[in-house]
Amino acid sequence: MRFIVYGAGAVGGVLGAYLHLSGQQVVLIARGAHLAAIRDHGLTLEDATGSRTMAVPAVAGPGEIEWQDGDVVLLGVKGQDTEAALRELAACAPAATPVVCLQNGVDNERQALRAFEHVYGVCVMSPTTHLTPGVVRADCHPVPGLLDIGRFPSGADSAAEAIAAAFRKAGYESVPRPDIMRWKYGKLLRNVGNAVDAVCGRAAGVREIVGRIRAEAAAVLDAAGIAYTPEDEDDARRADILKAAVADSRGGGSSWQSLARGTGHIEADFLSGEIVLLARLHKLAAPYNENARRWANHFAREGRAPASLTPVDWLATLFE
């Protein structure tokens, strides 16, 4: 197999680095200053063992790749970039190419299935950081993450087994799961708090807001009849496997990092926004998730610094 990592940021960049270090073929698709840094100096991986810079092939888009049998796409872009990425892939990658969604949210796999026959979801539990062009960091050691995989919408086939084996060879924990979307909806319940983490940081009162956002999201999933892994099952999977290399090594999660890098966009529409969509489809209200979505998008559009809104101000706009 050769892995085409479309989106070599935090999760994709770290995974691409470990796959490369384990002797597996990797091509990174990156953009802007990050791509330029990788091409000029190599991809730098930081983890608990130190810093390593490696020469990994990197391109600006899938049209620069000579596609071959055995290629597997690891889709690592944020949810708001999935449509454009799939459009580029569909223009040049064979339709039989497996597409593996390494993303938060639950809509990416559905989009991919329109263009590609073999689509796989991955429940990603891998704390990583990407704030500097050309540099990514694994925040857990010795296991950098959990990457359980399954075919979308359900099932586990030989390709899922082979990809899971490749992930394990790279140092990750990975098992095929026929009910992978149940795990991804469970992960979504954790991720709906990302938007508040991004705009309010870890100020007093944030934990209570996040708890209400998650409870509201769970109620919406229950009303919609959507199965998800409960928190205790999710915690049991993580168990003692994910160990922080440095306490509080990240300033924040993936949404916080988007604001810190000033990307101008954020994936809130595909996290809390997914709950809002489901709520509207089932004639329910989801004010906490809607407020989270709106504030995150406002911060991204305005280029506001992460963690600069107080929880009091966040709550003041709850029912506007």
CA distances from 316 to 12, 140, 286, 312, 319 (A): 37, 36, 16, 6, 8
Predicted confidence (pLDDT) at residue 226 exceeds the cutoff of 90: yes
Q: Where are the beta strands (DSSP E) in 48-141?
A: 50-54, 58-59, 71-75, 99-101, 119-125, 128-132, 135-138
How confident is the model over 256-275, as pLDDT tens digits?
Answer: 999 999 999 999 999 999 99
pLDDT bucket at 126, cuts 50 / 70 / 90: very high
Q: What is the DSSP letter of 266?
A: -
pTM of the model as a whole: 0.95
| CATH class assigned to 2-178 | alpha beta
Predicted confidence (pLDDT) at residue 247 exceeds the cutoff of 60: no
Whole-angstrom Cα distance, residue 311 to residue 201? Answer: 9
Same fold, 2-178 and 188-316: no
Domain boundaries, the chain: 2-178, 188-316
Element (H, E) at 47: strand 43-47
Element (H, E) at 2: strand 2-6
Q: Which residues contact 51 (CB under 8 A, 6 or more apart)?
A: 44, 45
Predicted confidence (pLDDT) at residue 316 exceeds the cutoff of 60: yes
Predicted confidence (pLDDT) at residue 195 exceeds the cutoff of 80: yes
CATH architecture of 188-316: Orthogonal Bundle (1.10)
Q: What mean pLDDT is predicted for residues 179-184?
A: 98
pLDDT bucket at 5, cuts 50 / 70 / 90: very high
Count of positions (residues) in the chain: 320
How confident is the model over 132-152, as pLDDT tens digits?
Answer: 999 999 999 999 999 999 999
Are 309 and 206 in contact by the 8 Å Cβ rule? The answer is no
